Structure 1
Amino acid sequence: MFNLNDIIRPNVLKMRAYSSARDEFKGAASVFLDANENNLGSLAGEGFNRYPDPHQKKLKSRIAEIKGVRPEQIFLGNGSDEAIDLLFRMVCRPGQDSMLHLPPTYGMYEVSANLNEVEMQAVQLTADFQVPVEEVLLQVKSETKIIFICSPNNPTGNLIEAESIEDILESFHGLVVVDEAYIDFSDEPSWTTRLKEFPNLVVLQTFSKAWGMAGLRLGLAFASEELITVLDKIKPPYNINESTQALALEALEREEALKDMVEEIVQERELLLQSLPDLPTVEQVYPSDANFILVKVKDADGLYKFLLGKGIVVRNRSSLPGCEGCLRISVGTLEENQELLKAIAEF
């Protein structure tokens, strides 16, 4: 049986969150002399002299409507990287606890583990980039506090089988973090629809991909209200700035445009999936549920440098286990994709 208090670090359980006067104040006020702000105004524009809402109430309320969850189940971070880091800080004791990840996968799990002095346990994905569940559960020990599962996975692009994630959620008594940065490009439902079933489930998403807001740095974590309360307690008080909150609220009113963009990206992805196998240097094109494609080629280093010479930047993933000889190629515009295909054909 999962009990969140059993895995939270004792010092985190005991600590008190930072509290401002505006957290403590209830009612209406017209004069604010509590936060040492510049009451004359801001050189950056109207409103920026005040600290942003530390609880992001308006933004969370709108996100909750779109995602079909409660605002209390949402944590907003400075990119999903902040949520990843805070999850480590919440449950992993430096120098004592461990995490488990499934390479090849997103590199920030390892970076955050190293930063927080958390031991890394790695179980490599199978040849078809799925989770070997039995091996994962055999590797779990009492000090293992978090398992990270990226689905659709980066850099491979594929969804992880739901049955595998279910088995781990039911058998592991720590946090299971399902990173869904690319879920908008897939036809499968989000794991946010199953938060009630699994109290140890944390779902990560981002506004950087489908929503096109990478420059705003806004990530999301969805989990039980109990878990989100702890994340809110340990986050910096004003981690989401005023501009990001305001621009994100504007973007959320253009949900129909999101659907059109995703549809166009998926169409371009399918055209690339059809065209790339015909090129002489391409050995294998892996299926994708994301906005990128993993491609195995005869000379990954040579092609990578050749494309750079043409002003085309892709990602060389050859050093990752299971991705030898592979490039990861983001889906671009029609013109960019045609330029890419032409350049690969010339190599």
Structure 2
Amino acid sequence: MSEWLEALTVNYVNELTPYESARRLFAGSGADAKQVWMNANESPFHRDYEIDTAIFNRYPDCQPDTVVNAYADYAGLKPEQTLVTRGADEGIELVIRAFCEPGQDSILICPPTYGMYAISAQTFNVGVERAPLLADFSVDIDAVLSYVGKVKVVFICSPNNPTGTSVPQEDIVKVLAAYKDKAIIVLDEAYIEFDSEQTQSQLLAQYPNLVLLRTLSKAFALAGLRCGFTLASPDIIQTLLKVIAPYPIPAPVAQIAGQALQSRNLSAVAKDVEFLKTELSQLQAALSKVGDIQIVGDIKANFVLFRTQKKNELMKHLVDNKVLIRDQSKQIALENCLRISIGDKAQNQTLLALITAFFANEAK
């Protein structure tokens, strides 16, 4: 960067390291039709939707009723408890912007976890405190509670990315009660369709400091749509509406999201989820028998995490064969760990065959 531009840039922005998304890491690879994408926790499925272009000359609604009402019904909540956003990532940003004073306040995260909590906070000059997960990747409740009065927002991901572990309700309740009137507790449920019994949406009625994040990117197979939801008390939703963009949801996104939430598509999503959970369980079992692979965490989402001392060599082998998975070894407690997003049956078989062949060759 040139000196004059660096001098003009805000100091904390100069110090930022951008989030390395799956597409940034392999920019341009999507043009290769033979590429097998198993690194971004996307669904391997897709569906056709209808688009009405007649209204594209008009600005869209800030909060389209068809989408808000449909998702509220799906989540078992009221429309006034529902905010539709540009992916769950925008929900993260809105909470930080609404409740954290730049240069003064901090958030709390529980690593290893989703990287955008910290990135979003740092982007707004908000501090980041950390209460690392325990050795079994459960939340260290004592550590989390030690920050009461010191942070404004607590982020907990359940099921957690990248460990695939879920947080028991009793732990969530302990955190909510301890931070009552003192901080917002954000529970990221982006993968909740894969562990639906663990949703904490019923707690919204009892704990006004609870915020849930949801998305259509995972189970709904609409990662390219960038459509998410923030679920909270009506008061919190109204606060977030003060800081949201005037037209956050493009008209085509609203049309597709509305269709995706219709009953026939919800049934299809449920079938996809059951299929992927079965495939994931089988892949986990198969991987555990290959080479020095050690399964790490759990499989409550749509991916499996594992450790191997041959991490770098295996990654190169897979990339050379046009199969992309995700290196998670930079995260705390995840040395030599790789994460695989579950694909369709053919993709899973291709991946497993390549990994098996790699370790068989290493053993020679």
**TM-score class, shorter:** 0.7 to 0.9
Which of the residues 152, 158, 171 maps onto 1:151? 158
Alpha carbons 1:72, 1:228 under 8 Å: kept: yes
Q: Which residue of 2 aligns with 1:38?
A: none
Q: Which runs of 4+ in 1 moved over 6 A?
A: none
Where does residue 215 of structure 2 map in the other structure? 206
Match of 1:279 in 2: 290
SS in structure 2 of the partner of residue 234 of structure 1: coil
In structure 1, the gaps of 5 or more residues are 1-43
TM-superposed CA distance for 1:139, in Å, is 3.0
Q: Is the 8 A contact 2:163 2:296 kept in 1?
A: no
Name 1:309's counterpart in structure 2.
320
Which has the higher mean CA deviation after the structures are superposed, 92-101 or 185-194? Answer: 185-194
Q: CA RMSD in A?
A: 1.2
Residues 283 and 298 of structure 1 are in contact (CA less than 8 Å); yes or no, is this contact kept in structure 2? Answer: no
Q: CA deviation at 1:55?
A: 2.2
Q: What is the match of residue 261 of structure 2?
A: 252
Tell me which residue corresponds to 1:60. Answer: 68
Q: Offset at 1:285?
A: 4.4
CA distance in 1, matches of 2:175, 2:309: 36
Residues of 2 paired with 1:47 and 1:291: CA distance? 36
Residues 110 and 133, structure 2, Cα contact 8 Å, conserved in 1: yes
- 1:187 Cα deviation (Å)? 4.2
- For residues 234 and 285 of structure 1, do their structure 2 counterparts lie closer, same or farther at Cα, with a shift above 3 Å needed? closer
Deviation of 1:165 (Å): 1.2
Give me the whole-angstrom Cα distance separating, in 1, the residues matched to 2:82 and 2:318: 41
1:340 maps to what in 2? 351
TM alignment of 1:103-114, pairs within 5 A: 103-114=111-122
Unaligned runs of 5+ in 2: 1-51, 359-364
- Counterpart of 2:316, as a letter, is K
Cα distance in 2 for partners of 1:45, 1:122 equals 46
How far did 1:299 drift? 1.6
- List per-residue Cα deviations over 1:188-234 (Å, max 9, x = no partner): 24111210111000000100000011111001110000000111121
Task: Report the number of matched residues.
Answer: 303
What is the one-letter code of the residue matched to 1:282? I
CA distance in 2, matches of 1:45, 1:332: 33
- The counterpart of 1:131, out of the listed 129, 139, 143, is 139
Q: 1:39-118, aligned counterparts within 5 Å? A: 45-118=53-126
User: Which has the greater radius of gyration?
Assistant: 1
C-alpha contact 1:284 1:297 (8 A) present in aligned 2: no
Give the distance between the partners of 2:333 and 2:190, measured in 1 at CA.
21
User: Shift of residue 329 of structure 1?
Assistant: 0.5
Distance of 1:128 and 1:346 partners within structure 2: 30
Partner Cα distance (2:72, 2:229) in 1:
11
Judge conservation of contact 2:81–2:237 (CA < 8 Å) in 1. yes
Shift of 1:53: 1.4
| SS of residue paired to 2:60 | coil
Q: Hey, what's the Cα distance between the residues in 2 that align with 1:281 and 1:335?
A: 24
One-letter identity of the residue aligned with 2:59: Y
* DSSP-derived class of the 1:221 partner: strand
TM-aligned CA deviation for residue 47 of structure 1: 1.3
Question: Which residue of structure 1 aligns with residue 225 of structure 2?
Answer: 216
Q: Choose which of 184, 187, 192 in structure 2 pairs with 1:178.
A: 187
Q: Distance between the aligned counterparts of 1:299 and 1:273, measured in 2? A: 18
Q: 1:231, 1:123 → 2: CA distance?
A: 26
SS at match of 1:188: helix
In 2, the alpha carbon distance for the partners of 1:87 and 1:161 equals 23
What SS class does the counterpart of residue 345 from structure 1 fall into? helix
TM-score by length of 1: 0.85
**What do the CA deviations read for 1:214-261 (whole angstroms, capped 9, x no partner)?**
111001110000000111121111100100000111111211111111
Identity among equivalent positions (%) equals: 39
Is the contact made by 1:205 and 1:220 (CA closer than 8 Å) also made in structure 2? Answer: yes
| TM-superposition CA deviations, 1:282-311 (whole Å, max 9, x none) | 123432100001111122122111111111
Task: Specify the SS of the correspondent of 1:195.
Answer: helix
Distance 1:335 1:294 in 2: 20
The alignment partner of 2:324 has SS state of: coil
Give me the whole-angstrom Cα distance separating, in 2, the residues matched to 1:215 and 1:150.
22
Q: Deviations over 1:160-211 (max 9, x none)?
A: 1222111110001200000000010114241112101110000001000000
Q: Read off the aligned partner of 1:327 and give its amino acid letter.
A: L
Higher relative contact order (CA 8 A, sep 6+): 2
